[in-house]
A and B are shown apart, each in its own frame.
Chain A
Amino acid sequence: MEFSELIRTGRAEALLLPGPGQPPVRGTLCITSHHLLLSDGHGSPSDLWLLLRNVDAVEKRVAGNSGTITLKCKDLNILQLEIEGLEETLDIACSIEALSSLESVTTSYPFFYRPQGLRLGDSEYLHPPDDFYQQVALKTNAWRLSTVNRDFYVCASYPPALVVPCAIGDEALARSAHFRQGGRFPVLCYYHSINGTVMLRSSQPLQGANRRRCAEDELLLLEVLALGGGQGLVVDTRSAQAVKQARLTGGGTEAKAAYPGWKRLHRPLERGRPLQDSFVRLVEACTDPSLSMDRWLSRLDGCRWLTHVKEALTTASLVAQGMDREGICILVHGTEGTDATLLVTSLAQLILDPKCRTMRGFQSLLEREWIQAGHPFQQRCAHSAYTQGRPKNEAPVFLLFLDCVWQLSRQFPLSLEFGEGMLLALFDHAYASPFGTFLCNSEKERYLCEVKTKTHSLWSSLNQSKERKRLCNPIYSPNPLALWPSVEPQSLQLWAGKTSLRFHLPSLNPGSSPWLRSLTGFFHIPNSRSFLTLDSTT
């Protein structure tokens, strides 16, 4: 396929209408294979460079001999372009639509992006299973690194290496995998060194209506209890009713009789379509400028986004509390174990483990618990809140995670090394990025597309000293304690930076609250200037 076939008109005279915090640009518009450029020809800083992958929806309107194209972006920004010429307008809209919805991974921009100062071979891809195992091995020798999945044969969505109890052989693991949806057998994801309890995750057991059992799977979980203190709790992210339903289609959950020592707790968390709808409705409410206070509050209430935040934080706190205070081992799963499960396990680690709250530790957590654990980023983040098409597999689970982290950062403003800017950057890059980090749905796909050798890693960009300073929290001071958040409704806030509010309100500038802005000013940190320049009002 040639990109040129998709570009009907490569060039036109256009005007970018001024948006909040954005000056108007008049000049020549250019469509390339991955970008939309709009330049006044003088190379001014207000020139528009838009990654076409970032375009979520295109709306066109023509009148007379010109037209307007509205680009609604995945980062929730909205751009309006006035284009000269009827034909040009239609052609350009068409080209953008075609180029922004290309599904091929290997022709995507990360495979062409070669930034200055970074060399492809040096790109900083993290190696969590090994690094993580090294850390666990320092504290206990009861767990081993298994390469049973080295060919992605046992489980297509797991990485090649996984941490499992020493006593369980690879053959048993393969059997257990056979008994779990998508082959996701229980693996270690966090070792709580204070009391030796562990957190595992998996997918649902394929119990079915006739209550099948699997000896190896039972043995695996029994061995976990033997290593971790004798008591276990399965946190199922679905309701008891949903589990009953799942049983009819071959799924299910751990039966009481088959897994002695393991109790079960149902903590239904929203996912899939309802979560996507919630996000869409939230963004709709945020972009409606005509709202009255009452209407705004009822729409905020109606979209239930904050309810999802509360439920996710509560479940994670519960898991963390069970491990830290009650000394019990935890297994988290829902149906596939790639969405709500990862939300819970990663948040619980952030609550318990001070290492995860550093810049490096957080990146490592994301790589381990989201990217390599097989959260299908490509499917979940194919579209954000503006798309008109019927969503298929989209769901803002990762965004929900970032929102929960933001809530933690509000309640413990000194305890996270990274600031709000980091969370916003992650949100943007998950949906459209010049880097390869969030490409594909699993390690297997990334391996097949040679992502790690042919694209740059987001982490190497974020860890460049200039970027790093910008994303850091200026008042960070390491906190060795667990962070127990308050989950009362009155304690949770709407993350205005995340929603489109950051683009649509003149006084609400990207991400930072007025308080944070004055704080950065207060510390006179030269590298925090980027925060201040974003600020147009003060």
Chain B
Amino acid sequence: MEHIRTTKVEHVKLLDRFSTSNKSLTGTLYLTATHLLFIDSLQKETWILHHHIAAVEKLALTTSGCPLVIQCKNFRIVHFIVPRERDCHDIYNSLLQLSRQAKHEDLYAFSYNPKQNESEREQGWQCINLADEYRRMGVLNSKWHLFDANRNYQICETYPIDLYVPESVNTATVVGSSKFRSKGRFPVLSYYHQDKEAAICRCSQPLSGFSARCLEDENMLEAISKTNPRNRYMYVMDTRPKAIVVESASVLVHCSDGWDRTSQVCSLGALLLDSYYRTIKGFMVLIEKDWISFGHKFSDRCGHLDGDPKEVSPVFTQFLECVWHLTEQFPQAFEYNEAFLLQIHEHVHSCQFGNFLGNCQKEREGLKLKEKTYSLWPFLLDDQEKYLNPFYNPTSQKFAVLEPNTVPFNFKFWRNMYHQFDRTMHPRQSIFKLIMNMNDQNKQLEKEIKELEYKIKHQKNRQTDTVLNKESLLSIHPDSPALKPSLCFKKEQTLLPVNDAVRTIEGSNTADNRYSEYTEEFSKTEPAVVSLEYGVARMTC
């Protein structure tokens, strides 16, 4: 790569931000075409993807070297000290170039090779199918139909090809309505509630200054409202999804362009209403539908390419945070856990997979993403064990519709997102890991039980063949009360050693904590009076 001037720098220090001052690791820094890699003296590797880098800063030269601070889009902040200023300068310049590509084709997704063949790649892209999703919602009934006049994106460039509008609406009405709306984003179906026959529709704002009214647009809204036989009122830009359930009313959501806040509201509304979106697969479908297909400008908003910084905005991150707050308020309602949300966030910015590249479907087709890159979803599905929420209770009816409490006290700081790389700041023991271990153990035990039952059955057959006395048969029967306690006991016994792995307290070391700064003072002999204020040890006599 022409941007890389230095590939390897030795004796680089990595400072720990949230630990004792001046504590650091020394190691070697490598610069590759896709990653920055730091290997410390303990052989621990820190990988930083170039696309994750949001800002690089070179600070003023110090006695120990030249500080280089890298801020990442996944909220990792690393602080290196490079011994020679020249090396630091080279790395700095390379990173500036590598983290801001001008063309989509230079992004990691186009070179990433997970060693899959063509058909596997194709299958991967088919794993989420939106046509199936609209079928699942029960849209293809007498009231809604597939509208196919946007086949070449001629009516709205930023919408997908497959759109659903009321049955009674014809192409002329749609075209008329689209001319009245910003960016041609006319009202279309986003979510359909089959039982209540109510819909969430989305669009952009009406164009003012053009004409105060538009007949076609009014017809369009009229048609949408008529699709709902239960409630003749329709809410426009009402952000309360409750409207659908409580009043069986339809909702039309829009903001200015209808691709940022509208996506947030539509997808969160659907998440509250429909438990399907609270499953792993369903959440992928939701993102594909309300975000990717309806043209949330991922490339612009995430700053994938070197572009207008004013276009960058954490709209999607905010959406993920909203979902996280819901998972905290309703811990049993979601099939996925926090790690799933964090992983999606990671890849929205990584540009490793094709899903989030480009700003709309049309652009994605132009980039031939399905032929040149891989889809993220099959990889997440392969790993789904990692993303399962052990508390998930899919059968409970009380989670049919979620009604979150939005009083301010209920919102917490999402430490695992914004400080995910600051190890010392997190709880030192994890309930989650404990539960996962117990689940594994239960599975293991169940397997053992099955094996034992099989053996018993087998033996029973043999025994009846050889006609053994009944008593010995009873004693090995699985339901025998004599056997049960010993099984329980065994379970407890095996539980402990595995627990130990959980109990080893990560980071629970005084040296990792800020207060350990003070203890340096303990060991000094003079002077005697130590006064500590503002976290800085000041000596007075």
- Residues in A lying within 8 Å of B, measured CB to CB: 231, 233, 239-240, 256, 263-267, 286, 289, 291-293, 295-297, 314, 317-318, 321-322, 324-326, 328, 410-415, 475, 477, 479, 481-488, 490-491, 493-494, 496, 501, 505-508, 514-515, 517-519, 521-522, 538
Contacts and interface: CB of A to CB of B under 8 A. Distances in A.
B90 interface: no
A264 B528 CA distance: 7
B529 interface: yes
Interface of B: 18, 328-332, 390-391, 398, 405, 407-413, 415, 418-419, 422, 424-431, 434-435, 496, 499, 502-503, 505, 507-510, 512-516, 518-519, 521-523, 528-533, 540
A413 B499 CA distance: 13
B410 to A, nearest CB: 7
Contact of A412 (B415, B419, B427, B514): B427
A488 B409 contact: no
Nearest to B523: A326
29 contacts: A240-B531, A256-B528, A263-B529, A264-B528, A265-B518, A265-B521, A296-B408, A296-B409, A317-B510, A317-B513, A321-B516, A475-B434, A479-B503, A481-B508, A482-B508, A485-B428, A486-B424, A486-B425, A486-B426, A488-B425, A490-B413, A491-B415, A494-B409, A507-B410, A519-B391, A522-B390, A522-B391, A522-B435, A538-B398
B410 A411 contact: no
Contact of A484 (B499, B508, B521, B532): B508
A324 B511 CA distance: 12
Contacts of B515: 314, 317-318, 321, 487
B399 to A, nearest CB: 8
Given A483-B508, A484-B508, A477 B398 contact: no
Given A296-B408, A484-B510, A414 B519 contact: no
A491 B522 CA distance: 26
A324 B496 CA distance: 27
Contacts of B411: 293
A415 B499 CA distance: 12
Majority DSSP secondary structure for residues of B touching A: mixed
Nearest to B430: A413
Contacts, number: 158
Contact of A328 (B407, B503, B522): B522
B429 A507 contact: no
B519 A264 contact: no
B304 to A, nearest CB: 29
A479 B500 CA distance: 9
Contacts of B424: 486, 488
Nearest to A286: B409
B427 A411 contact: yes
A256 B529 contact: yes
A514 B331 contact: yes
A303 to B, nearest CB: 13
Contacts of B528: 256, 263-264
Contacts of B514: 314, 487-488
A482 B430 CA distance: 17
A268 to B, nearest CB: 8
A538 B532 CA distance: 48
A231 B413 CA distance: 41
B434 A515 contact: no
A322 B330 contact: no
A489 B513 CA distance: 12
Given A266-B531, A318-B519, A514-B329, A412 B408 contact: no
A326 B518 CA distance: 11
A475 B522 contact: no
A488 B18 contact: yes
Contact of B431 (A266, A267, A328, A515): A515
A318 B410 contact: no
Contact of B409 (A265, A318, A415, A501): A501
Contacts of B408: 291-293, 295-297
A265 B391 CA distance: 47
A24 B103 CA distance: 66
CB-based closest 5 A-B pairs: A296-B408, A507-B405, A326-B522, A518-B391, A518-B331
A413 B427 contact: yes
B328 to A, nearest CB: 7
A486 B431 CA distance: 17
Contacts of B518: 265, 318
Contacts of B523: 326
Nearest to A294: B408
Given A414-B503, A490-B419, A483 B522 contact: no
Contacts of B390: 522
A324 B510 CA distance: 10
Contact of A414 (B415, B434, B496, B516): B434
B332 A518 contact: yes
B324 to A, nearest CB: 13
Nearest to A321: B510
Contacts of A321: 510, 515-516, 519
Nearest to B516: A321
A14 B165 CA distance: 58
Contacts of B413: 490
A59 to B, nearest CB: 23
Contacts of B532: 265-267
Nearest to A410: B427
Contacts of B391: 515, 518-519, 521-522
B505 A479 contact: yes
A364 B330 CA distance: 37
Given A263-B529, A490-B425, A518-B331, A326 B519 contact: yes
A486 B496 CA distance: 26
Contacts of B529: 256, 263-264
Contacts of B510: 317, 321, 324-325, 484
B430 to A, nearest CB: 8
Nearest to A479: B503
Nearest to B427: A411
B329 to A, nearest CB: 6
A508 B398 CA distance: 17
Contacts of B18: 488
B412 A231 contact: no
A481 B328 CA distance: 30
A413 B415 CA distance: 17
A484 B329 contact: no
B428 A411 contact: yes
Contacts of A264: 528-530
A484 B513 contact: yes
A517 B329 CA distance: 11
B506 to A, nearest CB: 11
Contacts of A484: 428, 505, 508-510, 512-513
A321 B517 CA distance: 11
B410 A505 contact: yes
Nearest to A263: B528
A515 B331 contact: yes
A493 B414 CA distance: 11
A168 B145 CA distance: 94
Nearest to A314: B515
Contacts of A538: 330, 332, 398
B499 A477 contact: yes
Contacts of A240: 531, 540
Given A264-B530, A515-B431, A490 B415 contact: yes
Contacts of A256: 528-529
Contacts of A491: 415, 425-426
A84 B529 CA distance: 67
B429 A412 contact: yes
A514 B419 contact: no
Contacts of A266: 531-533
Contact of B522 (A231, A505, A507, A517): A231
B519 A325 contact: yes
B412 to A, nearest CB: 7
Nearest to A259: B528
**Among B424, B431, B522, which residue has the most Cβ atoms of chain A within 10 A?**
B522
Contact of A413 (B332, B418, B431): B431
